[in-house]
Structure 1
């Protein structure tokens, strides 16, 4: 009898913990972000519902290619709660991505969101992510127009256009504010910087190598 009580208690604890791990459901029809409010909360403060307009739920321009004339050869047009205030509290966002031939989105992660990519144009888009320690498995595939690929939340991932023509896609995130950590910028361009000797030991290289890399960030 005692063992059954212990087992039942364990199951109840698991169910409660699973429930607490989920995002809370909205308790309002919407909570349109008041982006001018200076109160700090986990998200944005809600506008007065009486002042909400259709424009709060709207953005345009996703059909227009973005300018990829930059060092990395890619650009993004985001649609998060910062651009569409009506997304606040809903846990979703999106972006249009454009890639020049040879353009890359360098290794990065989204700390708060899983990402799903739908390719609109292009036939040689290399995508990949790396699983966490200790396996560090590199999972990669070349995809094209009409294909879909998922990048799990928090994992380092990248994209590269191996084709001779521009490519584009739409990405969606399971967060209104997915955040982004670009590996090179975070490691070599932090402010204040991470000590050179720490990075040299971590990457098993000479201090001069680290300083040379830092100079680019």
Structure 2
């Protein structure tokens, strides 16, 4: 895993050393109060109680996809499995999320919710190489974010992976899409002109050249 070094260049150049790890609740409060600035996610609810568990934070991103945020409480906690459990629960209880959004933005906004790429953001002071390997094998939309606190006014978020996952579609959604002559992304590309395909490839190549 990469090592990030942060330096102050005002007056004399000085390396900043991470200070003590934030308490989990302190970190959670900070992120919930600034979730849109940190991660582009609009905060909906804290400590959302579900069957056999409780999601730390839940929100909706700029693409109107549901987002679950989990904070690692201890070094031996398997935050990834926990996040997967919550993600599966949310996909099976979409109406519960619709109610959360309706309470915050009104019932009209519910129709804008996009269930194609719900996400779990796992935040901790550290992850192991095995955590990253496991995420890459799962092909799930789970993001690992490592944080470091510097003095009293600096915090750094390092995104350790860039998940590449196909849209999540349940069986009942597949039946509905089939009845409505739904076409996949690949099928649509086969119907357009060569000029559009070349333009599409150029845009994809440019985006990928920007890195994570």
TM-score, normalised via structure 1 length: 0.23
Q: Which has the higher contact order (CA 8 A, sep 6+)?
A: 1
Please state which structure has a larger fraction of its residues in helix: 2
With structure 2 as the length reference, what TM-score do the two structures score?
0.23
